[in-house]
Chain A
């Protein structure tokens, strides 16, 4: 399967714990995006990378959130001191932009539940 993969698919944690999610984009895609989606809503942009450079972060992304893409391939999203409000589906996507199509290919998501 050469699509976008995310790991884990589900994560249950207690409030105050740190969690880390991984995303493996399609190999030739330079752009990688992170989104958060809550029930009944559309995906909400968090941040994106062009190769290893993090070019934009949403103002909604608090200091407890950090993302990396150290070698321009896979990416990790870490949430420190989780809160119940962090419970959501975290989606990763990749694209060929800017050189190619801006169409984004999404992974299956990581569902986070903070107890």
Chain B
């Protein structure tokens, strides 16, 4: 069963705009990770945030985590056409990861 739920399911923006995706989960976690998947390909790890962290940055990515609300957000700033992909959050408590259904991001040039 899937643990996380991403919102929105689909997002379409213009190049240069910011994109925000949200993830909600149900149980306690050790960490939360965000992955990107280009169409029909494997997943690429973007960023990991641990349960005792509240915010993390990596390049144009900013992730926040609110464990009291069991939610996380991924912000992509100054989006590019190459950011078009599906984005998944994944949580783990012990040793297995649970993915949400993803947000499909389309960045129009």
Segment at the interface with B among A13-21, A43-51, A63-71, A72-80: A43-51
Task: With both chains docked as a complex, state the minimum distance between the C-beta of B57 and any C-beta of chain A, in angstroms.
Answer: 16
What residues of B have a CB within 8 angstroms of the CB of A108 in the complex?
41-42
CA distance A63 to B88 in the complex (A): 29
Q: Flag if A43 contacts B43 (CB, 8 Å).
A: yes
Q: Flag if B45 contacts A105 (CB, 8 Å).
A: yes
In the complex, which of the residues A40, A91, A97, A109 contacts B95, with contact meaning CB atoms closer than 8 Å? A97
Chain B count of residues within 8 A CB distance of the other chain: 24
Task: With both chains docked as a complex, state the minimum distance between the C-beta of B71 and any C-beta of chain A, in angstroms.
Answer: 17
CA distance A35 to B98 in the complex (A): 10
Q: Flag if A103 contacts B42 (CB, 8 Å).
A: no
Q: Flag if B99 contacts A56 (CB, 8 Å).
A: no
Q: Which positions in A face B, CB cutoff 8 Å?
A: 4, 31, 33, 35, 40-45, 48, 50, 55-56, 58, 60, 91, 93, 97-98, 101-109
What residues of B have a CB within 8 angstroms of the CB of A31 in the complex?
95
Name the residue on B nearest A92 (C-beta): B42
Name the residue on B nearest A50 (C-beta): B95
Q: Which positions in B face A, CB cutoff 8 Å?
A: 1-2, 4, 30-31, 33, 35, 41-45, 48, 88, 90, 92, 95-102
Name the residue on A nearest B2 (C-beta): A42
What residues of A have a CB within 8 angstroms of the CB of B44 in the complex?
106
What residues of B have a CB within 8 angstroms of the CB of A105 in the complex?
45
What residues of B have a CB within 8 angstroms of the CB of A33 in the complex?
96-97
Task: With both chains docked as a complex, state the minimum distance between the C-beta of B82 and any C-beta of chain A, in angstroms.
Answer: 19
What residues of B have a CB within 8 angstroms of the CB of A101 in the complex?
48
Known: A42-B102, A106-B42. A56 touches B2 (CB 8 A): no
CA distance A102 to B1 in the complex (A): 20
Name the residue on A nearest B9 (C-beta): A40
Q: Flag if B33 contacts A106 (CB, 8 Å).
A: no
Q: Flag if A107 contacts B42 (CB, 8 Å).
A: yes
Q: Flag if A44 contacts B95 (CB, 8 Å).
A: no
